[in-house]
Chain A
Amino acid sequence: MFEMVVSAFLVGGVLCVLGQLLMDLTKPSFTPAHVLVTFVTGGAILGALGWYKPLVDIGGAGATIPLSGFGYTLAKGAIEGVSQRGFIGIFSGGVEAAAVGIAAAVLFGYLVSVTFNPKG
């Protein structure tokens, strides 16, 4: 149950420090939205180059839970989509691979927002 937990902690922690440094060193132009967009795009590019997979192999959730892991999933899906279906896979592969995450975000996000009320 606790295998890879320490390496997940370390890899995930380092990725979050990168995000924090991006914010602290470029204040105030770099908002949380910019951090998330940078991580998704960066993860997708690194994934396409084959440089993100080693991080997933080492860090497990430490690499897949940060948003860069979402980008990695998108890029990996696009490549698999092309190898399985050719041209149409360019468009279907990425979203298909990320479908569970997108669906979960929409459903849970909507349900929670409808159920709870803002504070203050």
Chain B
Amino acid sequence: MPNQNLRPPTIAVTPKDYQDLAKKLTPKPTIVRNSFWAFMVGGTICALGQVIINLFAAAGLGRQEASTAATALMILLGALLTGIGVYDEIGKYAGAGSIVPVTGFANSIVSPALEFKREGYVLGVGARLFTVAGPVLVFGITTSIVVGMVYYLWH
């Protein structure tokens, strides 16, 4: 005689049902959305850079000088926007769109320096400026020296 106390499981879920449910409840991959915003914001920053280059060129600078001056101005812009707290707001949506351009490099310099300002102007600001810029310079300059060395031996 079957035991009357044995109830069937309250939720009749097969493993497949469970997997479907889990899939439905997992947040949708945000890769496409992230890429879209990275494209839009990164593209806009570069387009702005191009407008600045064109303006410098119209003011009589050579192509190379105009490009260099525009990069410096974009660094100033990125640093200022970080200082007033706007750049990090942009970064919440833009992801790599606000990291990859040189304005993001400026942001990576100012952000930690501001955060550790209370540790002083030398070991706080001065040192923390290079939290990310340090590795960038180490890898960038080292690569350029290796490139120079290979070119020197080659020719």
Asked if A pairs with B, the answer is yes
Q: Which residues of A contact B (CB under 8 A)?
A: 1-6, 8-25, 32-33, 35-37, 39-41, 44-45, 47-48, 59-62, 64-71, 74-75, 77-79, 81-83, 86-87, 89-91, 93-95, 98, 100-102, 104-106, 108-119
Closest Cβ of chain B to A99, distance in Å, is 9
Residues of B47-71 at the interface with A, using a CB-CB cut-off of 8 Å, are: 47, 49-55, 58, 67-71
Closest 4 CB pairs of A and B: A12-B46, A16-B42, A94-B144, A13-B43
Closest Cβ of chain A to B99, distance in Å, is 5
Interchain CA distance A41-B137 in the complex, whole Å: 10
| B128 nearest in chain A by CB position | A113
Interchain CA distance A85-B120 in the complex, whole Å: 42
Interface size class of B (residues with CB under 8 A): 35 or more
A15-B100, A109-B113 given; A102·B137 CB < 8 A: yes
Interchain CA distance A4-B111 in the complex, whole Å: 32
* B95: A residues at CB distance < 8 A: 19-20, 23
> When the two chains form the complex, which single residue of A18, A20, A93, A111 contacts B144, counting CB atoms closer than 8 Å?
A93
Closest Cβ of chain B to A104, distance in Å, is 4
Contact A87 B152 (CB under 8 A): yes
* A74: B residues at CB distance < 8 A: 140-141, 143-144, 147
A44-B140, A118-B117 given; A90·B39 CB < 8 A: no
A90-B148, A113-B117 given; A3·B54 CB < 8 A: yes
| B114 nearest in chain A by CB position | A118
Knowing that A24-B34, A44-B147, A113-B83 touch, tell me 20 more A-B residue pairs with CB under 8 angstroms: A1-B54, A6-B47, A8-B43, A13-B40, A13-B46, A17-B35, A21-B35, A24-B35, A32-B104, A39-B100, A61-B70, A64-B67, A93-B144, A94-B147, A94-B148, A105-B75, A110-B125, A113-B125, A118-B114, A119-B85
